[in-house]
Amino acid sequence: MASVLESIVGPWGSVFIKAGVILSVLGAYLAWTLVAAEILYIPAKTDDMPKFLARENAKGAPVFALVMAGGLVQLLLILLLFTYEALDFMLDLTSALALIPYLLAAGYALKLTITRETYEDRRSLVPDTVIAALATFYTLFLVYAAGWDHLLLSCILYAPGALLYWQARRERNLRVFTPAEAVLFGVIVVGAVLGIYGLVSGSIQI
């Protein structure tokens, strides 16, 4: 588009388009930086993450959440320097990372329809149950389709996050895990160990 506008109005048209692209990219970068920080900041405000992640500076910016999120992103970008076909790898990995929360949300929706929690009236729950069951089975299929290698790699990233949750619960003298949560955490840790072993042994390629 810069070349087209340059041929119509002259050199300043190319400069104008390029400046607009730079401005757009910087705006998107700022937005995604803030979104990444909110993933740590908002749970800290609701007591699900350590208190230090909710601290703000004089301008109201969550400094610690921004620094931690930015640092983790930089570590991931450094890792990509040693990755074959980095874009395809990141697309597959982010898909696998997103599927776990989707599966848990669909499974929890199915649980609510079975136990009738949050349902005050006695209306039929068949439609909600069918939708929740379909969502659960569909996300299970997607997890399977994503491949075990990416699923195990996502466990490597999820497991350290439990340390932040553990610290948050200890700060408030609350029970860290319910029995079901402990089982889920154990599964994630086992997946992380298998993922690390796969990377070391070469059975998982990145």
Residue 68 tokens read as: 């931690």
Query: Residue 180: what pLDDT?
Result: 83
Q: Which amino acid is at 68?
A: M
- Give the per-residue pLDDT at 21: 92
State which residues of the chain have pLDDT below 70.
none
Q: What is the dihedral of CA 165, 156, 143, 114, to 10 degrees?
A: -20
Q: Which H or E run contains 166? A: helix 148-171
Classified as helix, coil or strand, 198 is helix
- What is the distance between the alpha carbons of residues 150 and 160, in angstroms, rounded to a whole number? 17
Q: Please indicate, yes or no, whether the overall pTM of this predicted structure exceeds 0.85.
A: no
* pLDDT at position 20: 92
Per-domain residue ranges for the chain? 1-82
Radius of gyration of the chain (CA): 22
Q: How far apart are CA 7 and CA 132, in angstroms?
A: 56
Structure confidence at residue 99 (pLDDT): 87
Cβ(132)–Cβ(106) under 8 Å?
yes
Could you give the CA distance from residue 143 to residue 152 in angstroms, rounded to a whole number? 11
Gap between the Cα atoms of 180 and 185, Å rounded: 9
Q: Which of 33, 31, 26, 32 is nearest to 70 (CA)?
A: 33
